[in-house]
Structure 1
Amino acid sequence: MTQDYNANLPQTASREELRHLVQMQLQALLEQQNFQGAKALLVPVQPVDIAEAIEGLPEAMQAIAFRLLSKDEAIEVYEYLDPVVQQKLIEEFKHQDVLDIVDKMSPDDRARLFDELPAKIVRRLLTQLSPEERQATSLLLGYKPNTAGRIMTPEYISLKEGMTVAQALERIRSVANVTETIYYLYVTDAARRLVGILSLRDLVTAQPDQTIGEVMTRDVVYVYTETDQEEVARIIKDYDFLAVPVVDAERRLVGIVTVDDVIDILEQETTEDIYTLGGVQSGGGNYFQTNLFTVARKRVVWLFVLLITNTATAVVIQNQEEVLEQVVALAAFIPLLIDTGGNVGAQSSTVVIRGLSTNEVQANKFLGVISRETLAGVILGVMLAIVVTVWAYFLQGNLSVAIAVGVSLFAIAILASFAGSALPFLFRSLKLDPALMSAPFITTAVDVLGVLIYLWTARLILGL
């Protein structure tokens, strides 16, 4: 950053350490009510780092720190803030302060903010935006959430085939300050249909009197407004694009999705998948900035589901209690078996769900994937069964019980691998989120069937 706060850290300090120092110094200055010192501290700091520092402050100080910024800097910093903090600041600001910031935001960032705000506030803000910004924002909000249309920006540079390179460069100079990026230039016809693309490199290396039609590429990779945002992110990643054009049903160019938005999407989707794998409902904002009651509500749903479904395990144990009464040592290994089975199932489901998310695994090739994971379960089962049989015999000194435990774990590992790999495909075919649905069903299947397998195996081996 700058030596104003760099000087207090070793030369090898990481960016995270620098951010933390800024946040600590800012908080200390605000506690001392040294607002001029706090303002001077933030002058040389990058907007993204200021946003990080403000998010780390106590809630009561966040609005104070934000008000220290100049108007232009406040607009840029605001776009980097977490949606939860953005909403809290909106509630703190005077109406005109809010309007000035929101009106100057880029349309895609503004649309993302409006998605997080209550509908009443969105309607009020929309009516008071400038006509151009209101039209741009309403256009984006008119598309379905999580689609290319919703996340694109209409701020791009379009050229015509008949333009010369010199004319095109002149146009870029005149509009560069109000566009999202100038590195990709899009060529449209009279009806605004996308007909070609060229990079800024192509343009500046061409002869001034050449036409755009002579230097552009006609084979354009594009997405439609209804394309899912994950597919957009995948295209940008696969082709190493900085941006991808978005067209409507008539192939008219309506916007672009840039790589910085894609990074946000990938982080958002990954976070959502991780939360859902853990049985937590994702709310879209920063989990650790969310109210505790909201956190509890998000987490309790699947806990109730698991609580109810796992009563089936108790029913199985109750129906087989005469086996446990005769050989009490069997009860000691029930947690070991179902926990190990749950872990094996979680491993299989994790790799399959991740494969489905990244398109490494094709849904129409489910049989091969399930067979592979089941075979892995066989191999794992053999290795685990050998170890647990020896361990059970060492603990109990009863060979029959040890064999029952080992054989059961072998069968449970196969069952868990099969369930963990098959259920994500099943839920995907039913148009349900595999990440959200698989975990509780795998847990229930392994718990109930695992206990049943164990107790029936013990019956056969022990002759009960």
Structure 2
Amino acid sequence: MSENLNATHNNSRHELRDLVRSQLQLLLEQNNLEGAKALLIPVQPVDIAEAIEGLPESIQAIAFRLLNKTEAIDVYEHLDYSVQQALIEEFKRQEVLDIVDKMSPDDRARLFDELPASVVSRIIAQLSPEERQSTNLLLGYEEDTAGRIMTPEYISLKETLTVAQTIEKIRSQAKASELIYYLYVTDASRHLTGIVSLRDLVLQSPDTTLAEFMTRDVIYVKTDMDQEEVARLIQRYDFLAVPVVDRELRLVGIVTVDDVIDIIEREATEDIYALGAVSSDGDNYFQTNLFTVARRRVTWLLILLITNSVTGSIIGNQGDLLARFTVLAAFIPLLTGTGGNIGTQSSTVVIRGLNTDEISDLGPGKVVLREGFAGLLLGIILGCLAMVWAYFLPQTEKNIVVVTSVGVSLIAISVLASVSGSALPFFFRSLGLDPALMSAPFISTAVDVIGVLIYFNIARAMITAGI
């Protein structure tokens, strides 16, 4: 029931976005700027951003300029990076500064990652001193780390403050903080000593000091922690935010859940692309230049082309066997295709397990062994079915050599595919390589080349044995 409601809600949202986009485009093409401006008034910033992204590039800047300054900042933070960059190139210098200076520091840092260095340097030089300092702080950390995605906009308190004093301080700093549901307690050296939730705060009497009820056992991350680890930590504990400390355990920022959602989506997208041997580099695939797309995809396709050439050479060297049993060639696609599918299944579950830490307790040995037995079981089932099917095919004429070769080879190839599909992600991860990107081509290579060798060797052995 809830899934149906969610689907209905999502469909309604997409319909609203498409309706706003189409009407907005029509009004802009008619040069009805007042009508377009009135259309956008009741629409949420994220929906406006999606509507602008769907407009032709020639009128995106016009649509964006219809927004007031406050709304423009919110909408700009939701736009795709390619659209953000295109708008910056269209804007005058003061328009750029008005938007970028008011963005949250973490969103600004992510935008700067996508812009040319010369543009970033020019913009940073013209930011206000406070914003320039906070931006340079984030840009000083390595990409894809907690330090790079955190925001320095948080509320820091001393444990001697009373509840009444704390509430007054929240009122004065709320607009400058990205999150007020968690309040962080620090000592004179800015070391993180505790945390107070807004819920706990309002339940206490006004004269109670923070030291009396704050949580001292604080879960935090360090600035050099990988952003995926940060995302998993927030997901595990259901946090709205997690504090970030430097090497001396001084509080320097927080990572909020909205940033984590973006990270999870981006990393999942990269993994899905990688499983298809497509490198996305974090870009929107369908907005990337076709020549760039072809360049990224051609490398692995060339590797697979060479693999297929090797497979063809192996088949070509089996001329004497194929001359005697021509029908053996008919089962090669079945064997390699099934093996490839089994290998892909194994690599997919292992890569997903690595990303979610679901298999951290098992270890590589147990995972590979488990997948090997799964491959054996699958091979026996599929092998028996393939033997029955091959036995009654008119082309085989109930030839026991062909039928047995197909069944036994399918079992062996299934085990090979399961073992290679589960072992290769661990191997590439130990080398510091991306398991999702590297595994698929090598699994195809193992299944195609070794699988064909297994098939013909089994067939030749059975003929030699006089079966």
Q: Taking structure 2 as the reference length, what is the TM-score of the superposition?
A: 0.95
Counterpart contact for 2:193–2:216, Cα < 8 Å? yes
1:325 aligns with 323
2:102 aligns with 104
SS where residue 442 of structure 2 aligns?
helix
SS where residue 101 of structure 2 aligns?
helix
* Separation of aligned partners in 2, 1:61 and 1:337: 54
1:222–1:13 Cα change, 3 Å: closer
Counterpart contact for 1:103–1:129, Cα < 8 Å? yes
AA aligned to 2:122 is R
Counterpart contact for 1:84–1:290, Cα < 8 Å? no
AA aligned to 2:450 is L
1:321 deviation in Å?
2.5
1:130 aligns with 128
Counterpart contact for 1:82–1:285, Cα < 8 Å? no
1:177 and 2:175 are equivalent in the alignment: yes
1:275 and 2:273 are equivalent in the alignment: yes
1:182 deviation in Å?
0.2
SS where residue 392 of structure 2 aligns?
helix
* Separation of aligned partners in 1, 2:359 and 2:423: 13
2:398 aligns with 398
Q: 2:303 aligns with which of 294, 302, 305?
A: 305
1:230 and 2:231 are equivalent in the alignment: no
1:411 aligns with 412
1:372 aligns with 370
2:4 aligns with none
Counterpart contact for 1:346–1:442, Cα < 8 Å? yes
1:12 deviation in Å?
10
2:447 aligns with 446
Q: 1:258 aligns with which of 256, 259, 271?
A: 256
AA aligned to 1:407 is V
Instruction: Say which is worse superposed, 89-98 or 149-158, in terms of deviation.
Output: 89-98
1:30 deviation in Å?
1.8
1:82 aligns with 80
Question: Per-residue displacement from partner, 1:345-383 (whole Å, max 9, x unpaired)?
Answer: 000000001001000012871111111100000110011
Q: 1:290 aligns with which of 281, 288, 309?
A: 288
* Separation of aligned partners in 2, 1:376 and 1:21: 49
Counterpart contact for 1:244–1:258, Cα < 8 Å? yes
Counterpart contact for 1:352–1:424, Cα < 8 Å? yes
Q: 1:242 aligns with which of 240, 243, 246?
A: 240
Question: Per-residue displacement from partner, 1:206-245 (whole Å, max 9, x unpaired)?
Answer: 1111111112110000000001101101110111100000
1:353 aligns with 351
AA aligned to 2:387 is T
1:3 aligns with none
1:260 deviation in Å?
0.2
5+ unaligned residues in a row in structure 2: which ranges? 1-7
1:55-94 alignment, distance < 5 Å:
55-94=53-92
2:152 aligns with 154
1:301 deviation in Å?
1.9
* Separation of aligned partners in 2, 1:373 and 1:146: 32
1:233–1:315 Cα change, 3 Å: same
SS where residue 310 of structure 1 aligns?
helix
AA aligned to 1:51 is A
SS where residue 282 of structure 1 aligns?
coil
1:125–1:12 Cα change, 3 Å: closer
Question: Per-residue displacement from partner, 1:402-431 (whole Å, max 9, x unpaired)?
Answer: 221111111100100010011111111111
* Separation of aligned partners in 2, 1:364 and 1:310: 35
* Separation of aligned partners in 1, 2:290 and 2:162: 60
Instruction: Say which is worse superposed, 218-227 or 97-106, in terms of deviation.
Output: 97-106
SS where residue 147 of structure 2 aligns?
helix
Question: Per-residue displacement from partner, 1:56-95 (whole Å, max 9, x unpaired)?
Answer: 1122221221111111111110000011111111111112
* Separation of aligned partners in 1, 2:419 and 2:158: 57
Counterpart contact for 1:90–1:98, Cα < 8 Å? yes
1:343 deviation in Å?
0.3
1:6 aligns with none
1:168 deviation in Å?
0.6
1:29 and 2:27 are equivalent in the alignment: yes
* Separation of aligned partners in 1, 2:231 and 2:277: 25
SS where residue 272 of structure 2 aligns?
helix
Counterpart contact for 2:307–2:449, Cα < 8 Å? no
Q: Taking structure 1 as the reference length, what is the TM-score of the superposition?
A: 0.95
* Separation of aligned partners in 1, 2:64 and 2:463: 72
AA aligned to 1:260 is D
Instruction: Say which is worse superposed, 152-161 or 398-407, in terms of deviation.
Output: 398-407
* Separation of aligned partners in 1, 2:443 and 2:31: 55
* Separation of aligned partners in 2, 1:27 and 1:392: 60
* Separation of aligned partners in 2, 1:30 and 1:296: 35
* Separation of aligned partners in 2, 1:286 and 1:13: 22
Counterpart contact for 2:307–2:448, Cα < 8 Å? no
1:200 aligns with 198
Counterpart contact for 1:155–1:178, Cα < 8 Å? yes
SS where residue 193 of structure 2 aligns?
strand
Question: Per-residue displacement from partner, 1:239-267 (whole Å, max 9, x unpaired)?
Answer: 11000000000000000000000000000
5+ unaligned residues in a row in structure 1: which ranges? 1-9
* Separation of aligned partners in 1, 2:463 and 2:392: 18
